[in-house]
């Protein structure tokens, strides 16, 4: 058994490279379709709406990230438009999967 203590912090500028890397891992092959630099900066710019999860204090790299983005407030940003569009397509395919066969 491994005993690990998790710490929770607001996203900070020091977390930018790791947050960007987490976004690359999240979006995988679609990562180059998003402006992940701008998305990472947006996440850091709203510290009260996000949490980084770390194990070695505030200066360590985050292992995970939880955040919320107001898609209505940021609707003019291309990566938000693209994300919303792809989410709608994903839901449509899940709901009407029988149409694609």
Helices (H), the chain: 16-27, 36-45, 78-95
Cα gap 21→39, rounded to integer Å: 11
Cα gap 28→5, rounded to integer Å: 29
Total-model pTM? 0.78
Q: What is the mean pLDDT of each run of 10 residues along the chain (101 residues)?
A: 92 95 86 85 91 92 92 84 81 68 53
């Amino acid at each position: 058994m491994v005993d690990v203590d998790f710490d929770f912090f607001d996203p900070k500028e020091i977390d930018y490279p790791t947050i960007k890397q987490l976004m690359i891992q999240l979006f995988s092959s679609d990562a180059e379709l998003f402006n992940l630099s701008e998305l990472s900066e947006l996440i850091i710019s709203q510290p009260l709406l996000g949490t980084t999860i770390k194990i070695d204090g505030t200066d360590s790299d985050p292992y995970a990230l939880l955040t919320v983005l107001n898609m209505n407030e940021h609707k003019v940003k291309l990566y938000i438009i693209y994300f919303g569009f792809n989410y709608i397509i994903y839901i449509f395919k899940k709901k009407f999967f029988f149409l694609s066969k």
